[in-house]
Structure 1
Amino acid sequence: MIARLLMTLSAAIIFTLGTLHLVFTFRGNKLLPRDHELIDRMAQVSPVISDQTTMWRAWIGFNASHSMGALLFGMVFGYLAIRHEAILFQSPFLLVVGLAMLGGFLVLGKRYWFSVPFTGICIALACYLLSMLLGALR
């Protein structure tokens, strides 16, 4: 029961971060550069890989798809913890995939982001690891 709760909490934290990130991508100014001229310049410049987009459109797309990844993690692992606990905790593949995802978020958070998402990821990862440990002890 505690393992399930911790796994659900881990998933809920990442889901919440993903939701907030998606909202901030399309609403408000939280993910906008402080330099408004930079937005104009990003809207005019294409990346080397293709002239079919701009750096600004890529920025929005990357932020949205990043959010979708966090939402997917939260939904899948939350659902499995709540509805299919045995499948989740008896599957080394699923547990390692989840751990790798959170580990990747942790590295990115430390290197590229700021303290709020990094702290949330640390808590989610701690819940996940404790959940795995308690699940293995059953």
Structure 2
Amino acid sequence: MRLGRGRAEHDSARDEQGSTLLLTIFYCVLGLTLILVVVSATSLYLERKRLFTLADGAALAAAEAWSLDAVLVDGDRLSLELDSAEVRQAAGGYLADAVHDLHDVELVRAASDDSQSATVTMRAVWYAPIHTDLLPLSVPIEVTATARSVFH
């Protein structure tokens, strides 16, 4: 009687032997997928930050694109008026000189809406760190930065 029961337990253990391997494979795939998602999200965040830094520099350069003829004196107060054409030219000049490794960078808009501040909108494309021709993962990124020149 004892031999029969031992053999039944042995057969039962043999039936469950493959299920551990399947669970291990599943959890490895799940872990790798989670790592890939976190790396991609971090890469997208950093790419957006770099694009925003570039747009911020272009907006600052555009806000400083005024000449002394544009300065208005009102009593003891000085103010200036920015021209949208000069703002766009200064932002474009900054981007031509700037060194960056972003993909498909485009100056969407550079203007002065209130004649006091420069607003620059830029667009780029983010590509996932691991992408193939069969599964190209890309996301367009657009940022807007505003800068103002003031006299103190």
More helix by share: 1
Q: Which has the higher contact order (CA 8 A, sep 6+)?
A: 1
Q: Mark yes or no: TM-score above 0.5.
A: no
* Higher Cα Rg, which structure: 2
TM-score (norm 2): 0.28
Taking structure 1 as the reference length, what is the TM-score of the superposition? 0.30
